[in-house]
Structure 1
Amino acid sequence: MARNSGRSGDPPPPPEALPVPAVDAHCHLDLMDTPVAEAIAAARAVGITRMITVGVDLATSRWQAGVAAEHPEVRAAVAIHPNEAAGGVPEETFEAIAALARADGVAAVGETGLDYYRTPPEQHAAQQESFRRHIAIAKEAGRALMIHDREAHDDTLRILAEEGAPEHVVFHAFSGDAAMAKVCADAGYVMSFAGNVTFRNAEALREAAAVAPAELLLVETDAPYLTPVPWRGRPGGPYLIPLTLRVLAQTRGVAVDELAAQVTANAERTFGPW
């Protein structure tokens, strides 16, 4: 299954391979115009040996879980995206997500959270209720919680504190500044940086990446979205992780192989070995 991503142009060429393997902590294999086996092979060719593919509603969550069951390199995350939850979520949908969360090959509950960029205030309560339900599902299933937080930092952090966070919390496509990174670090939350950290106007994001503790750092593509420079706006894939990882290594003043090994260890600790 592949669904058009809405990205324009041809897929970028493969970057220089990493010297040691790394993990793509968040992608959407169903939204890529590339068969799953080809996406995995392209990633492996540049040193990306494992990936998390992420659902945004019940249908895509089931699809991701099915792919994870078929491909040992892949683990799934399952959830109702906050924008999908803004109109309310039926109880049977939460029950189905909870069942999926316990399946073999599912490593996380996500992406869930809050998105005030696209959601009017009158729908914030529905998003918040869905977020609370997903937090409970993650804790019950013993899975990492994968958070989508867009222009909703204060409420996201507040609800996590009120509900009690799971053992492992990941802020996907981290969008905060250095101050937010320090708050997350104090709480033990993992920060996953996507291709937008490479954008010219993302200095605040790079400052956050510089202060995030090494043991709380992940890297992701959010493919096919957030494709890193110099290919911004083109359709992305897990094989483009090396571009983002090299910018993060430069930002943090560490060697690429050191950072690749670190994010791989962090992924295994957060999502479990695979």
Structure 2
Amino acid sequence: MTPRKGERPPVPEPLPAPVVDAHTHLDACGAKDAADVSTMLDRAESAGVDRVITVADDLASARWAAEASTWDSRVFAAVAIHPTRTAEFTDADKAEIERLAQQPRVVAVGETGLDYYWDYSPPAAQHEAFRWHIDLAKRVGKPLMIHDRDAHADILKVLTEEGAPETVVFHCFSGDLEFAKACVERGFVLSFAGPVTFRNAAPLREAAAFTPADQLLVETDAPFLTPHPFRGRPNEPYCAAYTLRDLAALRGDDVAELASAVSGTADRVFRLRTVTSDLPNGEGLR
């Protein structure tokens, strides 16, 4: 029987070494409370995806992500206002994002950047918000997680003008080999999602094959961008295992070695091993 398009892909066999899903949206995947998060992370862990970073795109999502990161030790958060939601970005919004960004289990400022594909927010508003988030990342000392859609040159221009934070992560990297080289040369980290597994994405796959393992992350961006051969079906953090295996084959790497390297990069970039609960004695964490 052919699976229905709305069904999740099967949970794959566990990876030989665990890997971190560096960018997901647990709330958009359907998680509402601690029980939902635990169930989703149990499913991910059964595939070898042992930790995730759940990422905000608006203020309500930022509040939820920061709180969800205290429900389960396998969950961390990133907070920002998505570039497509910056048409109205008030001082009160900024104050709230800054407050959330300082919480211990919030490990990055993101996703922020520029999106020239959708027209929900004027470019001027996006640029102003992006520059503000860059400054915030530097002030709180946390990585900047970038959303870049059809805006490669301007992303680099703004980072150069503002001065990039110590650590910059290109979420769902979408560039070609030349753009990957420009980013790697600057010390940026490239995070690859399901599209890198698509067989019609030759320029992106070439970029992934080039990227050094210590500047490479794997993500799902779930519930979006489900990897091959399940494109179009609902995505979840466990599907990072499919992407990791496909990347290993593409690069000619051993799966266990690449998984270990990617997790090591995530640990270093987001300082995951140093993160503690913001609740007394770890109360509330799995």
2:270 matched residue in structure 1? 271
1:241 matched residue in structure 2? 240
CA-based RMSD of the aligned residues comes to: 1.3
Instruction: Map 1:124-139; keep pairs closer than 5 Å.
Output: 124-139=123-138
Between the aligned partners of 1:223 and 1:155, the Cα distance in structure 2 is 26
Between the aligned partners of 1:134 and 1:249, the Cα distance in structure 2 is 33
How far does residue 95 in structure 1 lie from its aligned partner after superposition? Answer: 1.2
1:57 matched residue in structure 2? 58
1:75 matched residue in structure 2? 76
Counterpart of 1:107, as a letter, is V
Counterpart of 1:105, as a letter, is R
> Is the Cα–Cα contact under 8 Å of residues 69 and 104 in structure 1 kept in the other structure?
no
Between the aligned partners of 2:158 and 2:129, the Cα distance in structure 1 is 11
- Do structure 1's residue 39 and structure 2's residue 36 form an aligned pair? no
After TM superposition, where is structure 1 displaced by more than 6 Å over at least 4 residues in a row?
none
Consecutive unaligned residues of structure 2, counting only runs of 5 or more, are 274-286
Q: Deviations over 1:149-169 (max 9, x none)?
A: 000001100101111111110
- Do structure 1's residue 147 and structure 2's residue 146 form an aligned pair? yes
1:13 matched residue in structure 2? 10
> Is the Cα–Cα contact under 8 Å of residues 108 and 143 in structure 1 kept in the other structure?
yes
Counterpart of 1:221, as a letter, is T
Between the aligned partners of 2:191 and 2:58, the Cα distance in structure 1 is 21
How far does residue 8 in structure 1 lie from its aligned partner after superposition? Answer: 4.9
Q: Deviations over 1:111-148 (max 9, x none)?
A: 0000000027x811110000000001111111110000
Q: Identity rate of aligned residues, in percent?
A: 54
Between the aligned partners of 2:166 and 2:62, the Cα distance in structure 1 is 22
With the length of structure 1 as denominator, give the TM-score of the two structures: 0.95
Between the aligned partners of 2:192 and 2:70, the Cα distance in structure 1 is 26
How far does residue 91 in structure 1 lie from its aligned partner after superposition? Answer: 1.2
Q: Deviations over 1:197-223 (max 9, x none)?
A: 111211111000011111100000000
SS in 1 for 2:27: helix
How far does residue 88 in structure 1 lie from its aligned partner after superposition? Answer: 3.0
Between the aligned partners of 1:8 and 1:134, the Cα distance in structure 2 is 37
1:214 matched residue in structure 2? 213
Counterpart of 2:217, as a letter, is L
Deviates further, 32-41 or 176-185: 32-41
How far does residue 15 in structure 1 lie from its aligned partner after superposition? Answer: 1.1
Between the aligned partners of 2:272 and 2:25, the Cα distance in structure 1 is 20
Consecutive unaligned residues of structure 1, counting only runs of 5 or more, are 1-6
